[in-house]
C-alpha cells in the first residue's frame, strides 16, 4: 500500500493500539489469579490482544512493535497451551514491554517514526526461549 494511503490510517492505528495495549495489560494482571476460569480467559485475551497488535503493526509496516508482538503472541500461546508457567518476573517484563510500546506509539503519532525497541525484543526472546 502507498505511504500516503497508510498515513491516513495512523490515527486509527494509534487509537486501536492503545485500546489493545490497555486490554492486554488488564489481562496480564489477571494471569496470577487463583480463579482458574478467570485465568484461562485472561490467557486467551492477552494472546488475542498480542495477535491484534501484531497484525495491525505489520499492516502499517511498524517493524519494531510488530517484532515485539510476534514474540508476545508466541509467549501467550505457550502460556495458554501449558508450555510455560507465568511468573511475576515475566509479568513485570510484559509491563515494561507495554510501557515501551506506548512510547513507540507516541513517537509514531508525533513523528511517524518508531523508537528502538531492541532491549524489549531481547527480553521477550528470553521469555519465549529461556536458557
- Asked if 31 contacts 42 with a C-beta cutoff of 8 angstroms, the reply is yes
Each domain of the chain, given as residue ranges in start order, spans 3-128
Q: Which CATH architecture has domain 3-128?
A: Up-down Bundle (1.20)
Residue at grid coordinates 495477535: 51
Q: What is the length of the chain?
A: 131
Predicted TM-score of the model (pTM): 0.91
Longest Cα–Cα distance in the chain: 48
| pLDDT tens sequence for the chain (131 residues) | 555 667 889 999 999 999 999 999 999 989 888 898 999 999 999 999 999 999 999 999 999 999 999 999 999 999 988 888 888 899 999 999 999 999 999 999 999 899 999 999 999 999 898 65
Cα separation, 33 vs 37, whole angstroms: 9
Cell 532491549, residue?
A: 119
Amino acid at each position: 500500500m502507498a505511504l500516503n494511503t497508510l498515513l491516513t490510517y495512523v490515527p486509527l492505528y494509534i487509537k486501536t493500539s492503545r485500546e489493545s495495549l490497555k486490554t492486554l495489560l488488564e489481562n496480564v494482571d489477571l494471569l496470577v489469579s487463583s480463579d482458574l476460569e478467570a485465568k484461562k480467559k485472561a490467557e486467551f485475551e492477552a494472546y488475542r490482544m498480542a495477535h491484534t497488535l501484531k497484525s495491525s503493526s505489520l499492516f502499517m509496516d511498524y517493524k519494531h512493535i510488530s517484532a515485539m508482538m510476534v514474540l508476545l503472541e508466541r509467549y501467550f500461546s505457550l502460556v495458554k497451551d501449558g508450555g510455560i508457567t507465568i511468573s511475576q518476573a515475566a509479568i513485570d517484563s510484559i509491563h515494561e514491554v507495554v510501557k515501551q510500546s506506548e512510547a513507540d506509539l507516541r513517537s509514531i503519532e508525533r513523528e511517524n517514526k518508531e523508537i528502538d525497541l531492541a532491549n524489549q525484543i531481547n527480553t521477550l526472546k528470553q521469555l519465549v526461549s529461556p536458557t
